[in-house]
Amino acid sequence: MKWTDVKKDISSISQEDKNLIELTALLASLRKEKKMTQKELAEKVHVSQAQIARVENFSYTPSLKTITKIADGLNLELTFRDKTTKELVKN
Protein backbone atom coordinates (compact mmCIF):
# COMPACT_ATOMS: atom_id res chain seq x y z
CA MET A 1 0.00 0.00 0.00
CA LYS A 2 1.32 3.43 -0.93
CA TRP A 3 1.73 6.19 1.64
CA THR A 4 -0.76 8.35 -0.26
CA ASP A 5 -3.38 5.61 0.18
CA VAL A 6 -2.63 5.32 3.89
CA LYS A 7 -2.75 9.10 4.28
CA LYS A 8 -6.13 9.19 2.52
CA ASP A 9 -7.48 6.43 4.79
CA ILE A 10 -6.26 8.24 7.90
CA SER A 11 -7.73 11.56 6.82
CA SER A 12 -11.10 9.93 6.18
CA ILE A 13 -11.47 8.87 9.82
CA SER A 14 -13.95 11.04 11.70
CA GLN A 15 -12.79 13.09 14.67
CA GLU A 16 -15.05 11.00 16.91
CA ASP A 17 -13.33 7.80 15.75
CA LYS A 18 -9.90 9.38 16.22
CA ASN A 19 -10.87 10.34 19.78
CA LEU A 20 -12.09 6.80 20.48
CA ILE A 21 -8.88 5.29 19.11
CA GLU A 22 -6.83 7.67 21.24
CA LEU A 23 -8.88 6.88 24.35
CA THR A 24 -8.73 3.10 23.95
CA ALA A 25 -4.99 3.25 23.20
CA LEU A 26 -4.51 5.30 26.37
CA LEU A 27 -6.47 2.80 28.46
CA ALA A 28 -4.40 -0.08 27.05
CA SER A 29 -1.18 1.80 27.74
CA LEU A 30 -2.21 2.60 31.32
CA ARG A 31 -3.19 -1.04 31.91
CA LYS A 32 0.27 -2.13 30.79
CA GLU A 33 1.96 0.55 32.94
CA LYS A 34 0.11 -0.88 35.94
CA LYS A 35 1.45 -4.33 34.94
CA MET A 36 -2.10 -5.65 34.77
CA THR A 37 -3.05 -8.36 32.30
CA GLN A 38 -6.16 -8.17 30.17
CA LYS A 39 -7.52 -11.11 32.17
CA GLU A 40 -6.93 -9.37 35.51
CA LEU A 41 -8.64 -6.21 34.30
CA ALA A 42 -11.52 -8.20 32.84
CA GLU A 43 -12.08 -10.02 36.13
CA LYS A 44 -11.95 -6.75 38.05
CA VAL A 45 -14.60 -5.08 35.87
CA HIS A 46 -16.73 -8.19 35.21
CA VAL A 47 -16.28 -8.47 31.44
CA SER A 48 -14.52 -11.13 29.39
CA GLN A 49 -10.82 -10.97 28.56
CA ALA A 50 -11.87 -11.20 24.91
CA GLN A 51 -13.90 -8.00 25.28
CA ILE A 52 -10.90 -6.15 26.73
CA ALA A 53 -8.78 -7.44 23.82
CA ARG A 54 -11.37 -6.33 21.26
CA VAL A 55 -11.48 -2.84 22.79
CA GLU A 56 -7.68 -2.58 22.82
CA ASN A 57 -7.38 -3.89 19.25
CA PHE A 58 -10.03 -1.47 17.94
CA SER A 59 -12.15 -4.36 16.65
CA TYR A 60 -15.08 -3.38 18.86
CA THR A 61 -16.61 0.01 19.56
CA PRO A 62 -17.11 0.10 23.32
CA SER A 63 -20.08 1.80 24.91
CA LEU A 64 -19.56 4.62 27.38
CA LYS A 65 -20.57 2.13 30.08
CA THR A 66 -17.75 -0.23 29.06
CA ILE A 67 -15.21 2.60 28.88
CA THR A 68 -16.29 3.76 32.33
CA LYS A 69 -15.96 0.22 33.74
CA ILE A 70 -12.47 -0.15 32.27
CA ALA A 71 -11.41 3.27 33.56
CA ASP A 72 -12.76 2.40 37.00
CA GLY A 73 -10.87 -0.90 36.93
CA LEU A 74 -7.71 1.12 36.33
CA ASN A 75 -8.59 3.50 39.19
CA LEU A 76 -9.28 6.34 36.77
CA GLU A 77 -12.19 8.72 36.48
CA LEU A 78 -13.51 10.30 33.32
CA THR A 79 -13.55 14.08 33.28
CA PHE A 80 -14.55 16.71 30.76
CA ARG A 81 -12.55 19.77 29.79
CA ASP A 82 -13.92 22.85 28.03
CA LYS A 83 -12.24 23.00 24.61
CA THR A 84 -12.04 26.78 24.65
CA THR A 85 -10.94 27.56 28.19
CA LYS A 86 -9.24 24.21 28.92
CA GLU A 87 -10.92 24.27 32.34
CA LEU A 88 -12.29 21.10 33.87
CA VAL A 89 -16.07 20.98 33.87
CA LYS A 90 -17.38 20.28 37.36
CA ASN A 91 -20.84 19.33 38.46
Q: 85 in helix, strand or coil?
A: coil
CA-angle at 44, arms to 54 and 52, nearest 5°: 5
For 36, the domain range is 3-89
Instruction: Report the run of H or E that residue 45 belongs to, with start and end.
Output: helix 38-45
Q: What is the pLDDT of residue 8?
A: 66
Query: What pLDDT score was predicted for residue 86?
Result: 92
Domain count for the chain, please give it.
Answer: 1
pLDDT means per 10 residues, the chain with 91 residues, are: 64 85 94 98 97 94 94 94 91 70
- The pLDDT of residue 5 is 65
pLDDT of residue 38: 98
CATH number at residue 82: 1.10.260.40
Consecutive H or E run containing 81: strand 80-81
Give the per-residue pLDDT at 15. 87
